[in-house]
Amino acid sequence: MHSTRWTIEIVPEDLKAALEANPEAMKNFESFSRSSQKIILEWISNAKQVATRQKRIAETVSLAAQNIKANHYRQ
């Protein structure tokens, strides 16, 4: 039987290390909804080049420290 429940997203090691280096960013990232975390994780994972992935991780941590979700529409 197929379950429609959410699966727990796995945070990649490089993002996890960057978040752990910034406790405020880690706290805020963990407080984001699962759907927001999933959007961010997919955005990072879909980077085709290492440099792009690193840039997205840095942006995610920087914004999370300000309690802002990366790769979300901003007004």
How far does CA 63 lie from the centroid of its chain?
10
Question: Is-contact 39 6, C-beta < 8 A?
Answer: no
**What confidence category does residue 8 fall into, taking pLDDT thresholds of 50, 70 and 90?**
low
User: What is the model's pLDDT at position 72?
Assistant: 84
CA distance 64 to 56: 12
CA distance 32 to 48: 25
User: What is the model's pLDDT at position 6?
Assistant: 47
pLDDT at 43 over 60: yes
For 63, the token pair is: 């914004």
CA distance 62 to 49: 20
User: What is the model's pLDDT at position 10?
Assistant: 85
